[in-house]
Structure 1
Amino acid sequence: MSDMQFEYLPNEILIECFRYLSALQIFQSFDRHNYRFNQLIRSIKLHLDFENIPQKLICDTFSTTVLPDQEIKNRIDSIHLSNENISYPIQWFLSIFSFNQFVHLRSLTLTKLKKKNLKDLKTMLPSMTELFSFRMINCDYQTEEILCTLPLSQLRTLIIPKLPRNLKLMDKASSITNLTISFRDFDDLSLIFNSISKLKYLKIENIQRFYSSIETKNIYSINNYATYLNKLIITKFRAGVDDLFILLKQTPNLRSLTINALFNRYRINADEWEDLINSSLSYLSVFKFNFEWEVVYRDENEISDKLKQFQSDFWCKQHHWYTEYILSTYRASIYTIPYAFDSYSLKLKTNRYSIQIMNNNVITFDNVEDLTVDPGAITEEYQYRFSYVTSLTFQYAIACNYSDHFLRMEDMKHLKIIVNLSHVKHLSLTMLHNLGKLEPVLTEILK
């Protein structure tokens, strides 16, 4: 059977392939290839993205020869501009084009906004009547100024670094169904549920208890149920178990929950979780978690017995939520497997306890891309395997004897078994000394 050439594929398959390419990539590769391709690429919806185009000449050529065509502009329904692309930053695009020229633009993503971009954006954003989705990525400020100019009432998807100080702004965002925020005070969550009552998807990068916006006693009496919410992701939760339970009791139709929590009080009780799930989360089918507690001066056997309760029939047979747990000198943690989060810390003096029927080191940590390693944790025991790490950090524990755990050449043999170093792009050294001795070690890692 001979291979079919790309140009002979039916239009339906070609269009599906083009969905994975930006408009610039499509026109650079297929424009003027033949009459059929010329017609096809001018009849589909296009996504404009300059972020991963390293050559400025390519961006300039597209912007001056292809993009001025109004028919092409009419096909663009999604734009991503980024100041991380030094070849074609946001202001360069705004100096040539206005968003109003893209009459069918429904999705706009801005990465690493700068203050100099605000003037043009505040002029353009209010008139974007077709906008359905707005994303601000890696932007640490100016959120409120941008939100004030956005047509919030028509948005369905919103990704922002943080909510505005004036939460009344969010009353205009009642139509939003997908919300992602990078940071939020726990006390504001009930207000979010009240303002954005149709939320179906909520992702919070970092949430803590500050006791700031509302008195604590009032928080516990608020019942703003997020009845439409079916997926909740919290990548860093820093509060108490009671706080989390209050939040989850307001999400009765939740079907998917992913949470990474460091609780501020020692309280390990699987029965509490079972009661909560049975009474308030009856639709929950996907549950991915990592729970951590401080356990200084506590009996290890007692902690282990409590963590084993998360491996009962309720968890394993009824729901198929399989877990394993870690015990160390200072902390205990339990997580569903495979481990759901992209960062992990391999600490000194830790023991890993796997459930018998799911003991599979190969797949457990395949989601981890950002790994922090205490050099003293590199041993011959090989309890771990990290296959897809792109960022590797070496960091000593604060209380340790550096000479006992210095990163040595002989550790490299063990490290290469624990970590697949071929994917590592970023290497960091924290709290290390005598960098001269580390030179051969680093050379070996970066080979």
Structure 2
Amino acid sequence: MSINSIENFSNEFFYEIFDYLDACEIYYAFSNLNYRFQQLINSSSLLLKLTFNYSQLQEIFMNNYQQILHFNKNQIFSIHLWISENTNQIISSFTIDSSFNCLESLIFDSIEPDILISLLPKLICLPRLFSLIIDTCSIEKDLGDIYRLIFNLPKLKYIKYTAIESNDFDIKISLPIATNEQISSIEHLIMDHPCALDELFVIISYTPYLRHLKFLSLTDRNVNIKNIKPIKLPNLTHLSIHIYRKMSFNVFDTFISKLNSKIKILSLTTLVEDITYLDANRWEKFILTKLPQLEKFYFKYSAYFEENYETPMYFGQCDQFISSFWLQRQWILDIEFDFDNIIYSIRPYQKRWYEYDTQNQIINSSDELSKSIRLRLDEVCPEQWTKTIYLNDYINHVLCLTHIYHLEIRAKIFCDKLMEILHLLPDVITLKIYSLSILKRENLSKDEIEFLYILLPKNQIQKISFGNMKDTDELYMLILICSRINHLHIECINYMHAEWLIELILTEIKVVSNSLLRLLCFSIPEANDEMCEKLQEMIDRENLRFDFIIKHVMNKIYLQWI
């Protein structure tokens, strides 16, 4: 049966639509239409999400908010408050009580600590308050009272508490160790504020059922980790730590030992100077003895570069992050240059652009994984910002730790700079580049071209991905620099761009007798089989190649020949 009126849609259809809308929007759009919609809005089957934000705090919306809070309490599933003068009026105008019997989630954005402290005791009566997110707009110097009130909420499972200002690292959390009568039901705790280790152990003494824990080590206060009593968290499986202040690897090791947990997923970000964090053998021993059940490992270490500052260097044995321990778990080292930092990362292996053939199969043998270490450059000329720090300083820091096999350059780069980088990284076998600035082909002298041929025979690059190829000169220079290329991948704007490039490339290599190029891959939005057919017709019509296979896989079109 055809539907020719909105009235003919089922109630379930409208409930599906309402799920994407704020309660006030639903009320404003549908409440006065007719009796049916009035019944739908007031039905216990409809759970309402209420959001108070600056754009909706007009008088007409305020009236709707007031009515919903008074007449639809038992339908409200979540409330998100951006605290302002108007929302303060709303808070004071209604009573929080057990009639909010479906309210499971509360979010307080930019709330003043004194308002928060006055509100938290009122939340105890909510029978289904499972999730609480707090973002305070100014820091209370002592967060102890707020945590004490949070731990009194009887049904709470998830809490995220954010309280950070740029210069407030001296806050404290004054709480005693929990007694058996003070145990909280919290299972997921995110502490997005400064916290010393002794304070952390006091807080988690209230949460023995904890499964997920995230906290910031962001304080200058010295704490002797050896004086902290161990705690048992048998359910804790997910741990995330951001270390911005004094926590050496030795302290971190002791901290994990005192948790007595079965961590399965560990995420660690550190900005401290302890170069031991880059010791793969130390990590291997630590994980095998302290975290034997670890399944996923996410790690970031930032090496900071600044004038008149001596960045710590790694002087241990090179290439230790490709031992069997790391390869068996497929935890791969990744490196990124980000302005004045080198970011060393360990993360579970993910597919990369160069590891797909026309069947979209991934290559992940131990041999391939051992050569999977990638360097990504967001900045290629640090010397423009400093007088004494150069790109080769960054690269030398990396090469003390590992060889580099894959290079991504996400900044616009000139040919001479690209050649300088490739000269410093002779083991690179794939190159992903987004924009290459070059001289026109006719501007290269014969001597310059001969110099390139002499300079680049050690270049091992076989696969190239190009993000923004605009003319033949870029292609010419890439093929000249990377003479061993056999796989070329290009991001295309549309089908016409891909067709132009295929004709350009096949024409170019047709006159090169020793070209090793055998595979072209074009990423095209909404690629389809019809595009393949049109490209095949064009290639045949222009007599560009005869011995080729063309195939469409997801958003890519592959062109391959022997």
TM-score (structure 2 length as normaliser): 0.53
Aligned match of 2:213? 202
**Cα separation, 1, equivalents of 2:29 and 2:339:** 57
Describe how 1:283-298 pairs up with structure 2 within 5 A.
283-293=293-303
1:14/1:143 Cα in 2 relative to 1: closer, same or farther (>3 Å)?
Answer: farther
Aligned match of 1:154? 155
Q: State which of 251, 257, 265 in structure 2 corresponds to 1:256.
A: 265
Describe how 1:289-368 pairs up with structure 2 within 5 A.
289-293=299-303, 302=315, 306=318, 308-315=319-326, 317-326=327-336, 332-336=342-346, 348=382, 349-350=390-391, 351=394
1:123/1:186 Cα in 2 relative to 1: closer, same or farther (>3 Å)?
Answer: closer
1:266/1:301 Cα in 2 relative to 1: closer, same or farther (>3 Å)?
Answer: closer
Aligned match of 1:138? 136
**Higher Rg of the two aligned structures:** 2
> What SS class does the counterpart of residue 268 from structure 2 fall into?
strand
Aligned sequence identity (%): 24
The CA deviation at 1:17 is 5.1
The CA deviation at 1:173 is 4.2
Query: Aligned pair count?
Result: 357
1:61 aligns with 2:72: no
The CA deviation at 1:379 is 5.6
The CA deviation at 1:138 is 3.3
**Cα separation, 1, equivalents of 2:300 and 2:34:** 53
**Cα separation, 2, equivalents of 1:156 and 1:67:** 24
Letter in 2 for 1:92: Q
**Cα separation, 1, equivalents of 2:408 and 2:17:** 35
> What SS class does the counterpart of residue 99 from structure 1 fall into?
coil
Letter in 2 for 1:278: L
CA contact (8 A) 2:123 2:153 kept: no
CA contact (8 A) 1:50 1:82 kept: yes
1:287/1:15 Cα in 2 relative to 1: closer, same or farther (>3 Å)?
Answer: farther
The CA deviation at 1:20 is 4.0
CA contact (8 A) 1:324 1:355 kept: no
Letter in 1 for 2:90: F
The CA deviation at 1:320 is 2.1
Aligned match of 1:81? 81
> What SS class does the counterpart of residue 179 from structure 1 fall into?
strand
Letter in 2 for 1:287: F
The CA deviation at 1:334 is 0.9
Aligned match of 1:191? 202
1:266 aligns with 2:278: no
The CA deviation at 1:269 is 1.0
Aligned match of 1:97? 94
Q: Deviations over 1:11-65 (max 9, x none)?
A: 5565455444332233334445566554444322222111364452343131244
Q: State which of 231, 235, 240 in structure 1 corresponds to 2:238.
A: 231
Q: Deviations over 1:272-329 (max 9, x none)?
A: 11122222223322222211346865796847x54x32244432x3222222225799
The CA deviation at 1:228 is 0.9
CA contact (8 A) 2:225 2:254 kept: no
Aligned match of 1:51? 53
1:356/1:26 Cα in 2 relative to 1: closer, same or farther (>3 Å)?
Answer: farther
The CA deviation at 1:181 is 0.9
**Cα separation, 2, equivalents of 1:59 and 1:131:** 25
Letter in 2 for 1:199: L
Letter in 1 for 2:250: D
1:300/1:19 Cα in 2 relative to 1: closer, same or farther (>3 Å)?
Answer: same
1:279/1:169 Cα in 2 relative to 1: closer, same or farther (>3 Å)?
Answer: closer
> What SS class does the counterpart of residue 175 from structure 1 fall into?
coil
CA contact (8 A) 1:22 1:46 kept: yes
1:125/1:339 Cα in 2 relative to 1: closer, same or farther (>3 Å)?
Answer: farther
> What SS class does the counterpart of residue 195 from structure 1 fall into?
coil
Aligned match of 1:397? none
Structure 1 unaligned spans of 5+: 363-376, 387-412, 414-447
**Cα separation, 2, equivalents of 1:46 and 1:314:** 50
Aligned match of 1:426? none
The CA deviation at 1:76 is 0.8
**Cα separation, 2, equivalents of 1:339 and 1:51:** 40
CA contact (8 A) 2:189 2:213 kept: yes
The CA deviation at 1:217 is 3.3
Structure 2 unaligned spans of 5+: 164-171, 351-376, 383-389, 422-431, 435-467, 469-562
